[in-house]
Structure 1
């Protein structure tokens, strides 16, 4: 039997290896276009992020190694260009010699895979624009990042690969924005409310997500500098395009092979419409295992199984490929996402009478040190109780939840079949009743009427309008809701009529269910439990004028909202503005947000942060969501590193350093990077472009000031009666002494204005650098910072000193004292010694992991 296989990677190599194991006499030849026959395509983003260090780790097999292992012949550099099914031949171009070659076959397997689609965006051919499909793509991208010191990345496409790329670019220290023209991330993979929750987690991790936004053009002059979108222009040093893939089947046009949008329909034995021609992998159109409908599912896992099944069928075994469920799992920063089966939308479209349930549960014993949570959505058929799909989000092992569902769906299981599954339990691994089974119980209770609930999707659609919100948390947690203490509920509740429409909420859902059960027994007939509770949903109560609890005031202050004490329920929300530097589109978004969610007024703080005034408590979450979609963050309060402030830098006539660039790097590394690190008090950083100190760096906890140190060449000094250097010096420390110019190095403030002023070039050279002040403060107690003795000439060293100052404050500061107090208590000389030493960085992880139990001292 002569088997010709077009394409390697997953399906092709798996089929070839299995054919040779089944029948050693088979003559198997693989033609591949590239030099690599088999590589870890799913590992490419992690090579970009540095988790996979070398190219060799991505290569599963070389042609030589593969041939030695399997006996199949491999010919690289051959691109298939035509198929003659009647003659049973394939023509291919030898990419080395340029000649056309003809190959005969008894059986042909088309496993040519798919390639990334680059949308027709103006400027997409520039340097710095990448796709991520092959090892060479990943190598080129990582190399470009390293060689060009890229800071800003835009990822076009919010699917699995795009989001994995975004996570790994974030890991490399870039400021990352994800664009998707769809109204959500992972369209078709997750239902809208699950995608919305995942998006919030991504944004909290530092990835800017803009949905419903198309990339209009990639800007630059041969090298990318920005991406123009409908929502404004985004700075970009690198662009990753992950906007979909297209099957590599164009060469088959006119061959008689049936194709659907470039994919090749196959039956259960991977046969096409042409005799002895088969297809597998990313170019094949298989079926959905649940519905039987055609489904394209280009995944490495299914490609391998298709290749193996096809090989067994070709060698005489009665094997059939049952189709796909669309199973997938993706690692995101601080969040994993898994799914299989039908989404709710797809199940309804397929004609099922759909019922869903969403449950937030512990992922393992709650007392175990690294316990976290799962947010699990189950989709089932109301009539048969058959499980149709699952979507799971959480920091931990979401794959085990998905794998249970895959097994059940594949075996046609109904919900009741999961009730008493003897699944593995020990505190480090699971809960006593498995989280999957807990979610099944919720859905069964819902079907049996034991719980009346509303899903997050229904809540977002307004299905709870007219319901009175009852707060079932241990302590009041929902502003404006009616709080009822579950533990003391032993009869009708004063103020609640038994016919009232009540929406019961708690933190995760369990207490709300308990309360509904108890209220029912007391005659309350119209209650709903909110699935996912406040953990998953933004619960808002229309309660104008209701006083906000102190706990809620504290909570939203951490989000950047400061209570207007003249009102019971209004707040001023701080918008992080990158030193007051906003795009026109961002400024419009702020203005529109102020009109829509606040009083219509916008003020500017002394630290160049915008505040939207008069935001009712119930509008806080909608405002944050609105601005996040415009790429803007809110925050900048609490006992943490605060947003950086800077002067105009080199756009000012006296500016010596690019303050916007430096302060942006400080912002990303310390405001964002240390956002979850609690300090004894707030820590303010200012960057000044010159010793004029316009933004008062010396009155901040830490200040950086640009320096230009003049270098005098006395042999060129002519001892002029009117010295231009002396005349230029704004602080009069440059003086003629004994017929030569002298600048007192202790008195000079290094403004650099004297440089280049001598007509004889006595002060022509200079050294650019930075001076660092520590321990300044403005407010109730004013303290002037003192600068470190060293003038720094290396920017990285400046960043390291800033980090060491923050670490020192966390390690040695006392709750509620400012950094100035810490410096005064320890002593400037000792603090300076530590900031110039490496010890603080050496014990960084130990410091950050320490349970300091700080209360913090910042009140605004």
Structure 2
């Protein structure tokens, strides 16, 4: 029998039109003592307006340095079943494709070893299993491994790479997001499982600039599918959209950031040389417009959530990279970045913040990249003359030549 608690404050969260996590915890609490005590502690936290969780330091599986978020109750005598309430992050399949058997496996595993509560999925992407004890961590890892799953990333490490559904379900995918995610995950196992960075590092891979995975806002390294060929136009289908009420001038032409589209009421024209490859027109007129090969990816760097200097979006480092297996160009570039970051990064400093602190010039030099216009985030913000000390020793006209 599980203990039942009166939860008048938590009950308020079940009211209204939206699903409630409280309802799900109550379902689990009917048969799981850990979920029942979780309700009791949460109610007390709401009543006292303070948390009763504490972080007890690093706790993980032998051979791993991360993947488990240690959590302990400050009230173990009052709520003994959540004295330990560790969270396990599990490396999710690329594109979040599960079989029903895999879902049942996770549910059975967590009913046996944990609270029965799961989070599908965490912000990083992991399958999150909420609430277990220290003694259960080794058995959990063993069962996961025997069934083809692995623990994901946490702490100052490479976080579990994630991607959109890509070519598996999306007609707009211009790179194989699933294969890239798998290859990166396999290549960087040490960096994923054994924290060694100044802070976290995230890869997110999306098949096109629509960015369904929000890579540009959430990933230290965003890999975004793009194209080099002209946008193919089916004029008859454009006219069909007009008949259905689409205002081409207002919704397409005026919204183009490159100002490269024109419409005379009968024919749509695109000056592809000025196209910014934002994908807006293609997404608004599917079937009428489509990108053409060659296909590849933009590589961007530096996004993160707020902490020291606030949220930042990533900015373009390589406007087009051919993404051919085994993606050696991307891997080699990434290792250069990590070496530099490990040498100069401060504790809890993301790589984007290091670039802002030490300068884009230094970052491009260690990357072996030349500055190009696509790297400019804002007009008159990024310097494009990278003067070196030896340039000062040259005669004025020699400084402009190599």
TM-score, scaled relative to structure 1 = 0.30
C-alpha contact (below 8 Å) 1:771/1:792 kept by paired residues: yes
Deviation above 6 Å: which 4+ runs of structure 1? 554-557, 721-726
Alpha-carbon deviation of 1:705? 0.3
Q: Distance in 2 between matches of 1:674 and 1:819?
A: 16
Give CA deviations for 1:365-417 in whole Å, capped at 9, x if unaligned. Answer: xxxxxxxxxxxxxxxxxxxxxxxxxxxxxxxxxxxxxxxxxxxxxxxxxxxxx
Aligned counterpart, 1:605: 122
Q: Are 1:749 and 2:278 matched, yes or no?
A: yes
Distance change in 2, residues 1:831/1:723 (3 Å): farther
1:815 corresponds to which of 341, 347, 350 = 347
Alpha-carbon deviation of 1:789? 4.7
Aligned counterpart, 2:358: 826
Give CA deviations for 1:444-500 in whole Å, capped at 9, x if unaligned. Answer: xxxxxxxxxxxxxxxxxxxxxxxxxxxxxxxxxxxxxxxxxxxxxxxxxxxxxxxxx
Distance change in 2, residues 1:624/1:748 (3 Å): closer
Q: Are 1:564 and 2:71 matched, yes or no?
A: yes
Secondary structure in 2 aligned to 1:665?
A: helix
TM-score, scaled relative to structure 2 = 0.60
2:216 corresponds to which of 691, 698, 722 = 698
Q: How many residues were matched structurally?
A: 284
Aligned counterpart, 1:614: 131
Aligned counterpart, 2:144: 627
Aligned counterpart, 1:767: 294
Give CA deviations for 1:810-839 in whole Å, capped at 9, x if unaligned. Answer: 23322221112111112234323432459x
Give unpaired runs (5+ residues) of structure 1: 1-546, 839-860
2:262 corresponds to which of 736, 758, 765 = 736
Give CA deviations for 1:64-101 in whole Å, capped at 9, x if unaligned. Answer: xxxxxxxxxxxxxxxxxxxxxxxxxxxxxxxxxxxxxx
Q: Are 1:578 and 2:107 matched, yes or no?
A: no
Alpha-carbon deviation of 1:750? 5.1
Give CA deviations for 1:178-212 in whole Å, capped at 9, x if unaligned. Answer: xxxxxxxxxxxxxxxxxxxxxxxxxxxxxxxxxxx
Secondary structure in 1 aligned to 2:116?
A: coil
C-alpha contact (below 8 Å) 2:58/2:69 kept by paired residues: no
Alpha-carbon deviation of 1:630? 1.3
C-alpha contact (below 8 Å) 2:156/2:199 kept by paired residues: yes
Alpha-carbon deviation of 1:779? 4.1
Alpha-carbon deviation of 1:805? 2.6
Aligned counterpart, 1:792: 321
Secondary structure in 1 aligned to 2:367?
A: helix
C-alpha contact (below 8 Å) 1:576/1:633 kept by paired residues: yes
Alpha-carbon deviation of 1:641? 0.9
Structure of larger gyration radius: 1
Alpha-carbon deviation of 1:588? 2.5
Q: Distance in 1 between matches of 2:150 and 2:291?
A: 45
Q: Distance in 2 between matches of 1:769 and 1:633?
A: 29
Q: Distance in 2 between matches of 1:755 and 1:801?
A: 35
Q: Are 1:638 and 2:167 matched, yes or no?
A: no
C-alpha contact (below 8 Å) 1:708/1:752 kept by paired residues: no
C-alpha contact (below 8 Å) 1:755/1:766 kept by paired residues: no
Q: Distance in 1 between matches of 2:180 and 2:150?
A: 19
Secondary structure in 2 aligned to 1:748?
A: coil
Secondary structure in 2 aligned to 1:823?
A: helix
Q: Distance in 1 between matches of 2:292 and 2:127?
A: 41
Alpha-carbon deviation of 1:704? 0.4
Aligned counterpart, 1:707: 226
C-alpha contact (below 8 Å) 1:659/1:689 kept by paired residues: yes
Alpha-carbon deviation of 1:690? 1.1
Give unpaired runs (5+ residues) of structure 2: 1-52, 74-81, 371-402
Q: Distance in 2 between matches of 1:789 and 1:669?
A: 21
What are the equivalent positions in structure 2 for 1:474-513 lying under 5 Å apart? none
Alpha-carbon deviation of 1:679? 0.6
Distance change in 2, residues 1:752/1:632 (3 Å): farther
C-alpha contact (below 8 Å) 2:124/2:159 kept by paired residues: no
Q: Distance in 1 between matches of 2:85 and 2:122?
A: 18
Alpha-carbon deviation of 1:663? 0.9
Aligned counterpart, 1:806: 338
Secondary structure in 2 aligned to 1:791?
A: strand
C-alpha contact (below 8 Å) 1:571/1:614 kept by paired residues: yes
Secondary structure in 1 aligned to 2:149?
A: coil
Q: Distance in 2 between matches of 1:696 and 1:764?
A: 21
C-alpha contact (below 8 Å) 1:656/1:707 kept by paired residues: yes
Q: Distance in 2 between matches of 1:831 and 1:653?
A: 35
Secondary structure in 2 aligned to 1:790?
A: strand
RCO higher in structure (CA 8 A, sep ≥6): 2
Distance change in 2, residues 1:635/1:790 (3 Å): closer
Q: Distance in 2 between matches of 1:752 and 1:710?
A: 15
Q: Distance in 1 between matches of 2:183 and 2:341?
A: 20
Q: Distance in 1 between matches of 2:279 and 2:365?
A: 23
Q: Distance in 1 between matches of 2:270 and 2:318?
A: 24
Secondary structure in 1 aligned to 2:362?
A: helix
Secondary structure in 2 aligned to 1:599?
A: strand
Secondary structure in 1 aligned to 2:274?
A: coil
RMSD: 3.8
Aligned counterpart, 1:230: none
Alpha-carbon deviation of 1:594? 0.1
Q: Distance in 1 between matches of 2:155 and 2:221?
A: 17
C-alpha contact (below 8 Å) 2:61/2:141 kept by paired residues: no
Secondary structure in 2 aligned to 1:608?
A: coil
Aligned counterpart, 2:207: 689
Q: Distance in 2 between matches of 1:587 and 1:633?
A: 15
Structure 1 stretch displaced more, 825-834 or 700-709: 825-834
C-alpha contact (below 8 Å) 1:558/1:635 kept by paired residues: no
Distance change in 2, residues 1:597/1:756 (3 Å): closer
Distance change in 2, residues 1:551/1:729 (3 Å): same
C-alpha contact (below 8 Å) 1:597/1:619 kept by paired residues: yes
Q: Distance in 2 between matches of 1:782 and 1:776?
A: 7
Give CA deviations for 1:111-141 in whole Å, capped at 9, x if unaligned. Answer: xxxxxxxxxxxxxxxxxxxxxxxxxxxxxxx
Give CA deviations for 1:416-448 in whole Å, capped at 9, x if unaligned. Answer: xxxxxxxxxxxxxxxxxxxxxxxxxxxxxxxxx
Q: Distance in 1 between matches of 2:241 and 2:292?
A: 15
Alpha-carbon deviation of 1:764? 7.7
